[in-house]
Amino acid sequence: MAFGLWLFVAVEGVYNYEREIPISYINLSDHYVITESGTKLQVTFNGKGKNLFGIWASPPRIICDLTEVVPGRNVISTKDLIVPVKDLTVNFNTKFITVDIDEKAVKFVKPLIPIKGSPKNGYAISTIEVLDSVIATGAKKTLQKLSEVIAETLNVNNKSATFETSLRIASVLESVKFSKENIRLLVVIDSSAQKTFTDIGINILKNVGQKVKMDNYNIDTLVISGAKSRLDKMNRNDVIVRIRVSDLVSGEYFLSPEIIMPDFISLVYSKPQVIKVDIY
């Protein structure tokens, strides 16, 4: 290719040169974001060899002006695209390109902190305080579905004292930018303890018209563990026990109740662990 282009320059003949070049989008309103668009187009240049050599050595960028776009799919004629070259004819391999636009939105999102390891024996996590707010900026439709942002994993293995650390935001979304690349955390570690609740009622999740009979409507004994400071504030209303039968047909079943507890609290023991359920 290089030899051929040097030949163009030498003879000053008129030739075609085809190549793929990138697109630059300009003049997009601050109220909008691009959600989908092409990045390159195949272009044929026609002209003297000396001018084509410049294209080969330093390819230009296609300029696409987005001044008049609106939210949704915009179909733009390649006749409206600009390629900043002199003394060359430019032809595109397509008549149109599409650019998808959405309104720009801003939203606070909650960092989701994965945890690995366990504190030192006799200790537990009391709370994890996120010291930085995270603001997401991006396409309105994308942000409507976004409520959390995932951070890298927090290692609490063998910890026995409160500590502060920083974690990187791990979520990557092409059309969304986050105000922070890293977030600061205060991880409060406290001595662990156990707490016992008795006679916690079981919620039955059933369909209208289903009749359900159980041999026990309560969890007689529930033992949980966690940070002492956290357990001191807990009461029986913070624990949810339920059995779902809405997906089951009539018959006799032996089911394990689902026990839902606050963060950083773990189940030690529950009785009964299996309950006989009759569905009519």
H or E stretch covering 244: strand 240-244
- Look at residue 11 in the predicted model and tell me its pLDDT: 52
What is the spatial distance between Cα 106 and Cα 143, in angstroms, rounded to a whole number?
8
CATH entry 2.170.120.30 includes domain 2-102:
yes
Segment 210-222 shows an average pLDDT of 94
Q: What is the assigned CATH class of domain 194-279?
A: mainly beta
What is the spatial distance between Cα 269 and Cα 271, in angstroms, rounded to a whole number?
7
Domain ranges of the chain: 2-102, 104-191, 194-279
What is the spatial distance between Cα 43 and Cα 247, in angstroms, rounded to a whole number?
59
- Look at residue 56 in the predicted model and tell me its pLDDT: 82
| pLDDT for 252 beyond 50 | yes
What is the spatial distance between Cα 83 and Cα 264, in angstroms, rounded to a whole number?
59
Identity (one letter) of the amino acid at 91? N
Segment 194-211 shows an average pLDDT of 94
What is the spatial distance between Cα 29 and Cα 117, in angstroms, rounded to a whole number?
47
Alpha helices by DSSP H, listed for the chain, are 2-11, 49-57, 140-144, 228-231
Q: From residue 24, give the alpha-carbon distance in Å to each of 21, 59, 71, 75.
A: 10, 13, 19, 16
- Look at residue 52 in the predicted model and tell me its pLDDT: 81
Residue 255 pLDDT grade (very low, low, confident, very high; cuts 50, 70, 90): very high
- Look at residue 175 in the predicted model and tell me its pLDDT: 78
Written as six digits, the tokens of 57 are 């050595």
Segment 249-266 shows an average pLDDT of 95
Written as six digits, the tokens of 184 are 């600061």
pLDDT cut 90: percent of the chain above it: 82
Do 67 and 99 contact (CB within 8 A), yes or no? no
- Look at residue 4 in the predicted model and tell me its pLDDT: 52
Residue with tokens 């209208």: 208
| pLDDT for 173 beyond 90 | no
pLDDT cut 70: percent of the chain above it: 96
- Look at residue 51 in the predicted model and tell me its pLDDT: 77
| pLDDT for 148 beyond 70 | yes
Listed in sequence order, the residues at least 6 apart from 95 whose beta carbon sits closer than 8 Å to its beta carbon are 77, 78
- 104-191 and 2-102 share a CATH fold: yes
| pLDDT for 246 beyond 90 | yes
- Look at residue 54 in the predicted model and tell me its pLDDT: 79
- Look at residue 3 in the predicted model and tell me its pLDDT: 47
Q: From residue 96, give the alpha-carbon distance in Å to each of 76, 79, 124.
A: 5, 8, 61
| CATH of the structural domain 104-191, one choice from 2.60.40.420, 3.20.10.10, 3.30.2130.30, 2.170.120.40 | 2.170.120.40
**pLDDT digit string (tens) for 37-92?**
999 999 998 888 777 887 888 889 999 999 999 999 999 999 999 999 888 889 99
| pLDDT for 98 beyond 90 | yes
Residue 16 pLDDT grade (very low, low, confident, very high; cuts 50, 70, 90): confident
